[in-house]
Amino acid sequence: AQSVTQPDIHITVSEGASLELRCNYSYGATPYLFWYVQSPGQGLQLLLKYFSGDTLVQGIKGFEAEFKRSQSSFNLRKPSVHWSDAAEYFCAVGTTGANNLFFGTGTRLTVIP
């Protein structure tokens, strides 16, 4: 069965520090993987996606993620966090880009000065 696990419910980092949000997936077919961000009162915004090719993908706002098939992981990283990055982050997996996506429970990021 398809599933996505985000082990960290809440992470607090200092502004300027590096960030890594974890995502593990279970999927029978070749997965398409996504990271979405939701700021308060906003919709889900796509940060980046992986379909094939280079396993290190770059996204918007300085984020990147690395697909590791052997570990069934797709962790999100940012070298230096900004206060505006405080939000909820969702990892998702699907067979196509949009239909029937499976989401994780999300990780809430708090950024402290």
Partner 1 sequence: EPEVTQTPSHQVTQMGQEVILRCVPISNHLYFYWYRQILGQKVEFLVSFYNNEISEKSEIFDDQFSVERPDGSNFTLKIRSTKLEDSAMYFCASSEATGRGTEAFFGQGTRLTVV
Whichever of 59 and 81 has its CB closer to partner 1, that residue is 59
Dist. CA 7–CA 34, nearest whole Å? 16
Indicate whether 90 belongs to the interface with partner 1 (CB under 8 A). yes
| Cα distance between residue 8 and residue 49, in whole Å | 20
Q: Among 106, 113, 112, which Cα is nearest to 10's?
A: 106
Given the rule CB under 8 A, which of 44-52, 53-61, 65-73, 75-83 is the region that contacts partner 1? 44-52
Inter-residue contact 4 to 67 (CB < 8 Å)? no
* Footprint on residues 47-66 left by partner 1 (CB under 8 A): 49, 51
Is residue 101 a contact residue for partner 1 (CB under 8 A)?
yes
Interacting residue with partner 1 among 32, 67, 74, 89 (CB under 8 A): 32
**Euclidean distance between CA atoms 38 and 58, whole angstroms:** 18
Of the two residues 13 and 44, which places its CB atom closer to partner 1 in the complex?
44
> Which residue in the set 11, 44, 66, 77 belongs to the binding site for partner 1 (CB under 8 A)?
44
Residue 29's CB is within 10 A of a number of other CB atoms, namely 9
Site of interaction with partner 1 (CB under 8 A):
4, 32, 36, 41-46, 49, 51, 90, 92, 96-106
